[in-house]
Amino acid sequence: MTRHIEIRKNSYLDSVSLMSMSTKANAVDGVTLALLGMATPMNKEVLLNVGVSDPAVDAAKPSDLMVVIDATDDTIGAAIEAVNDILARKNKGSGDAAEVRYRTLDGAFSEVADTNLVIISVNGAFAAREARKALNAGKHVMIFSDNVSVEDELALKTLAHEKGLLVMGPDCGTAIINGVGLAFANAVRRGNIGIVGASGTGSQELSVRIHDFGGGVSQLLGTGGRDLSAEIGGISMIDSIRALDADPETAVIVIVSKPPAEEVADKVLAVAGAASKPVIVNFLGSQRTESGYANVTMTSGTKPAAVAAVLAAGIDKSTLDLHALNIPLIEEVRAKLVPEQKYIRGLFCGGTLCDESMFAALDKYDNVYSNIQKDPQYKIGATDPSREHTFLDMGDDDFTNGRPHPMIDPTMRLQRLAQEANDPEVGVIAMDFIVGFGSHDDPVGVTIPAITEAKAKAAARGQHLEILGYVLGTDLDTPAVADQIAMLEAAGVTISSSSTNLGLLAREFVAKGDN
């Protein structure tokens, strides 16, 4: 075994590229460990954790690139060469004379006059500063990056508000502007329904359901998950509602969020109530059923919200395929489960999808654990084993810390699936598969072997393990939803037609006796 440690001074690569390069480097023949990363304190700790300690690593700065390769003595030379090739790919395309790249936003703005939106997905520590530059130059901003402080978020949104600009994010995963999907988005029909979402996959789900019901989307604006907190006060949400109210192409406004702070909810509803258009509200998990405004309708889930929106947008109710809960299916699954198979395990890429299913379970059961549970008694961490009913948002920070999001790289979820399948008390494993812009190009395909194995494990102990899947996407997405569903069905997976139904079906499958 030979260890190669190289510090490349002042070489920057973004963490997502480095993670994908590390994955490739680990697959090189003879390599037992390959780690490519910027020399941040966190990455240094990662190295220490895998037993790599070296003065060169200690001395490296966050602006330096660390290359660590362990390989067998006879392959190390070839491995270094292979890793160098992987790293060199960064410049793929930059030799193309037509591709111009700018080092600074100011440089880009001065060379390209008509830019109007900056999509920021750099490390959160640097995102606020770049966003401020964009706003000061009069550009709208979408901040995909997370780990931006609340103070920065408030300052940016206040600045944007003063300037009449839009700040989507931080931690805004999706938007559709003028029919163009940004970051994680689905290909949906254009139409007259405007969406404002404080939850990324919730917004995606709404847009997909609206498309499915024959409606279309005028604009989908994201606000970032913290916008409706007491600290931020819904600045982006309120500005977005007003903008959609003033937009002649928007007839109906839908807003989706996790439960907002009470006073912010009041404020947002008041703005919605002052709008000239119908506003459909879905505050996930909120107990509010009345808005107090004639034009503002409260709904209980993403699907009811989509239904209300398309009806308000003028679509005839008789044309809707509402996909009511399939009661015979529920009976059939219940019959296959043995009495000890009492629990649901939800393994989610989408945070809102996890939320929605978890809230469905909470309506019926108390013993619901999750990494996104508000109640500390029921909160579990990423490395904790699942307990009773467990819903994991695997895109949450405690899972993704230093690793790619499961929508991009499903590896982490496959491992968890194998673990859950070992538990004889599990009746249902619920999973979401998100296709579309930004997502893995075949999320179902990479998961099928793990699903087959999980089912086989249960079968070996004489159990039927129910795997319930939901594919978020449209017929216009790549890959198309129908193809992904066909693959799941072939593997014996039961398909839910929506996020809302996913939670309800999972809950009902494991209900016993009088429940």
Partner 1 sequence: MSINDLFHNGLKPVNLGLDMFADDLKAQGVDPVLMEWTPPGGGDPEVIAALSRLEDPANASKIDAANQVALDRILSAQPFLEGFGQAIDTVPGMTAKTILHAGPPIEFPRMSGPMKGAVTGALVFEGLAKNVDEAFELAASGEITFSPCHEHQSVGSMAGVTSASMWVHQVTNRTHGNTAYTNLSEQLSKILRFGANDQSVIDRLNWMRDVLGPVLAGAMALNTDGIDLRLMLSQALHMGDEAHNRNVAGTTLLIQALAPYILESDFTTKDKREVFDFVASSDYFSGPTWMVAAKASMDAANGVENSTVVTTMARNGVDFGIRVSGTGNQWFTGPAQQVVGPMFAGYTEADSGLDMGDSAITETFGIGGFAMAAAPAIVALVGGTVADAMNYSRTMNAITTGNNPNITIPALDFMGVPSGIDVRKVMETGILPIINTAIAHKDPGIGMIGAGITHPPVEAFQQALRALADGIAI
- Report whether 138 contacts 131 (CB < 8 A): no
What is the spatial distance between Cα 69 and Cα 485, in angstroms, rounded to a whole number?
A: 40
Please identify, using beta-carbon distances, which residue of 122 and 274 lies nearer to partner 1: 122
User: How near is the Cβ of 121 to partner 1 at its closest, in Å?
Assistant: 3
Q: What residue ranges in 246-373 does DSSP mark as E strands?
A: 252-257, 279-283, 296-298, 343-348, 368-370
DSSP 452: H
Please identify, using beta-carbon distances, which residue of 115 and 286 lies nearer to partner 1: 115
User: How near is the Cβ of 141 to partner 1 at its closest, in Å?
Assistant: 10
What is the spatial distance between Cα 81 and Cα 90, in angstroms, rounded to a whole number?
A: 15
Please identify, using beta-carbon distances, which residue of 121 and 295 lies nearer to partner 1: 121
- Report whether 173 contacts 436 (CB < 8 A): no
Read off the amino acid at residue 272: A
User: How near is the Cβ of 374 to partner 1 at its closest, in Å?
Assistant: 31
Other CB atoms within a 10 A radius of the CB of residue 404 amount to 18
Please identify, using beta-carbon distances, which residue of 84 and 104 lies nearer to partner 1: 104
User: How near is the Cβ of 221 to partner 1 at its closest, in Å?
Assistant: 8
Please identify, using beta-carbon distances, which residue of 164 and 385 lies nearer to partner 1: 164
> Who's near 236: CB < 8 A, 6+ residues apart?
157, 160, 166, 167, 168, 221, 223, 224, 227
What is the spatial distance between Cα 153 and Cα 233, in angstroms, rounded to a whole number?
A: 11
Reduce the secondary structure of 494-507 to three states and give it as a string.
Answer: EEECCHHHHHHHHH
Binding site for partner 1 (CB under 8 A): 9-10, 12, 14, 16-17, 38, 40, 61-63, 94, 99-105, 107-109, 112, 114-123, 125-126, 129-130, 134, 138-140, 144-145, 163-166, 177-178, 180-183, 218-219, 239-240, 242-243, 246-247, 249, 437-438
Alpha helices (H) in 365-410, listed in sequence order: 397-400
Sign for the pseudo-dihedral over CA of 298, 303, 309, 311: negative
Please identify, using beta-carbon distances, which residue of 145 and 498 lies nearer to partner 1: 145
- Burial annotation 386-397 (CB, 10 A radius, 16+ → b, else e): bebbbbbbbbbe
Please identify, using beta-carbon distances, which residue of 76 and 244 lies nearer to partner 1: 244
Alpha helices (H) in 313-345, listed in sequence order: 327-336
Please identify, using beta-carbon distances, which residue of 276 and 383 lies nearer to partner 1: 276
User: How near is the Cβ of 68 to partner 1 at its closest, in Å?
Assistant: 19
Please identify, using beta-carbon distances, which residue of 365 and 437 lies nearer to partner 1: 437
Place of tokens 């239904």: 307
Supply 263's token pair: 């006073």
Other CB atoms within a 10 A radius of the CB of residue 179 amount to 15
Please identify, using beta-carbon distances, which residue of 107 and 292 lies nearer to partner 1: 107
DSSP 191-205: EEEEEEESSHHHHHH
Please identify, using beta-carbon distances, which residue of 139 and 416 lies nearer to partner 1: 139
User: How near is the Cβ of 159 to partner 1 at its closest, in Å?
Assistant: 12
User: How near is the Cβ of 297 to partner 1 at its closest, in Å?
Assistant: 24
User: How near is the Cβ of 493 to partner 1 at its closest, in Å?
Assistant: 27
User: How near is the Cβ of 30 to partner 1 at its closest, in Å?
Assistant: 25
What is the spatial distance between Cα 392 and Cα 386, in angstroms, rounded to a whole number?
A: 9
User: How near is the Cβ of 453 to partner 1 at its closest, in Å?
Assistant: 29
Place of tokens 């000239």: 276
User: How near is the Cβ of 146 to partner 1 at its closest, in Å?
Assistant: 12
